[in-house]
């Protein structure tokens, strides 16, 4: 009897876990404006391992802010964002990589496209 209860509990937990990893109904790339698709691809390749680079969503790394949060930070400008992105000494240790000027501009412009007038931070 005990083994049956344990097996049922494990099977139920496994089926719930499988539900959490269902593929989205529509690929994210399809929801990105055509003019932002190249920048989105770069963001996915360079940054999405830690950050959510979408207009909505949570970052895979809880310590990495979502790009929508960054983009909607009061006072943030393209210039301040470019200064941060091109100054490797500004990065936390986990982000120790190099972006050339064109890549930084592409990412900054894409990030700023995530601004919304009706934005409310998730936390």
Domain borders along the chain are 25-112
HEC-encoded secondary structure of 74-104: CCCCHHHHHHHHHCHHHCCHHHCCCCCHHHH
Closest CA to 42 of 118, 97, 80: 97
Q: Which fold has domain 25-112?
A: Cytochrome Bc1 Complex; Chain D, domain 2 (1.10.760)
Each residue's pLDDT tens digit, 49-75: 999 999 988 999 998 999 999 999 999
pTM attached to this predicted model:
0.69
- Supply 9's token pair: 């509990």
CA angle 21, 26, 28 (to 5 degrees): 85
Residue 42, pLDDT above cutoff 90 = yes
């Amino acid at each position: 009897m005990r083994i049956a209860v344990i097996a049922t509990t494990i099977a139920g937990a496994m089926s719930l876990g499988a539900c959490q990893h269902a593929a989205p109904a529509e690929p994210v790339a399809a929801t990105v404006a055509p003019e932002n698709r190249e920048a989105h691809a770069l963001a996915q390749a360079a940054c999405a391992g830690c950050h959510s680079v979408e207009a909505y969503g949570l970052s895979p790394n809880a310590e990495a802010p979502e790009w929508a949060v960054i983009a909607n930070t009061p006072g943030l400008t393209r210039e301040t964002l470019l200064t941060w992105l091109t100054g490797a000494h500004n990065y936390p240790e986990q982000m120790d990589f190099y972006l050339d000027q064109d890549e930084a501009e592409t990412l900054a412009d894409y990030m700023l496209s995530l601004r919304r007038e009706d934005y409310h931070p998730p936390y």
